[in-house]
Amino acid sequence: MSRRGEPQELVGNPGAYYTFDLSKDGSRLVYGRTEGGRTILWVHDVERNVSSRLTSITSSYADPRWTDRGDVVATGWEPGPAAIVLISSDGRESTIVKSAVNNMVESVSRDGQLLLYRQRALQLLARPLNDGSNPVVLREIGTGGMNQAQFSPDTQWIVFHERDESGKYEVWVIPNRPGGERRQVSSGGGVQPIWRQDGRELFYLGMDGALYAVGVRPGNRPWFSAPKRLFTTGLAPPALSVEEYAASRDGRRFLLLRPIEDRIRTSIGVIPNWPAQLTAAASK
């Protein structure tokens, strides 16, 4: 869709999609598709409109993230507990992070050097992607429901959504270091924040399903503009733990994981005196 909310093209065919990530140049899409009760990762060539399977049906995956080398980092759920795995373009898999509790991918830095992940619902951690160094605990998560954390393009900042004191989900930014100040950038509720690739704009979904943009002036303490409503996405209510949209490099096009039927069912049908109707139908 365009920045004004105009439909432009369909990417791939309708299906049971679950989780995805768009490559930095917008040419490839890695996505999860439900098959046989598991979520299998596929790669879609956007220009050629061709998909190929990346992982087998022996495990289930979530949170796929492209690296700068074209590999994919993802959360592998089987066998448990959840581990973080690196998957090469030919499907070879190696484990990066594994422990006695669930470890779930959040983000890979733009330069491919840093991994951001959650350990269970306890901590947000960062560590080098390739050398196995000890992780740094950036934030204790607690019961706030933190999710969808993402490095800024320069890796100096991290955006995420989390409940505030009133219980409403909002979008926050913290520095990429322990104990940094948490700053709110959304207004009236927001989830699924992402950075534009030049770091000068943030996007997020409002709880009404509208897409919002926040201007960013980088610096030692970045300045954030008031949120600007762009268009209604049809993603209402938005998901709290699964990404449902991605932005192009310049922030002028958006890829949405939208239901085939856009209508939201908010009613319940009631059939009065249904035993009598069944009797009448059987007698015909």
- Round to whole Å and give the CA distance between 127 and 159: 17
CB 96 within 8 A of CB 85: yes
Alpha helices in the chain (DSSP H): 274-283
Q: Which CATH number applies to 15-142: 1.20.58.220, 2.120.10.30, 3.10.20.30, 3.40.50.720?
A: 2.120.10.30
* Cβ proximity of 67 and 73 under 8 Å: yes
Decide if 15-142 and 144-257 have a common fold: yes
- Count CB atoms within 10 A of the CB of residue 24: 13
Candidates 3.40.50.2000, 3.40.50.300, 3.40.50.720, 2.120.10.30; CATH matching 144-257: 2.120.10.30
Contact 223, 238 (CB under 8 A): no
- Do 96 and 129 form a contact (C-beta atoms < 8 A)? yes
Cα–Cα distance for residue pair 124/146, rounded to 1 Å: 9
pLDDT value for 104 = 95
State residue 174 phi and psi, 5-degree precision. -130, 155
- 37: CB partners within 8 A, 6+ apart: none
Domain boundaries, the chain: 15-142, 144-257
Ordered per-residue pLDDT tens for the chain, 284 residues:
999 999 988 888 888 898 999 999 999 999 999 988 899 999 999 999 999 999 988 889 999 999 999 999 999 998 889 999 999 999 999 999 999 999 999 999 999 999 999 998 789 999 999 887 889 999 988 778 899 999 999 999 999 999 998 999 999 999 999 988 999 999 999 999 999 999 999 999 999 999 999 999 988 999 999 999 999 999 989 999 999 999 999 999 999 998 886 544 455 667 777 787 777 666 65
Total residue length of the chain: 284
Residue 275: helix, strand or coil by DSSP? helix
H-helix or E-strand containing 9? none
Cβ distance 98 to 88 under 8 Å? no
* Predicted structure pTM score: 0.87
Query: Which one, of 152, 228, 245, lies nearest residue 196 by Cα?
Result: 152
Q: Do residues 42 and 56 make contact, with C-beta atoms less than 8 angstroms apart?
A: no
Give, rounded to a whole angstrom, the gap between the first and last alpha carbons of the chain: 51
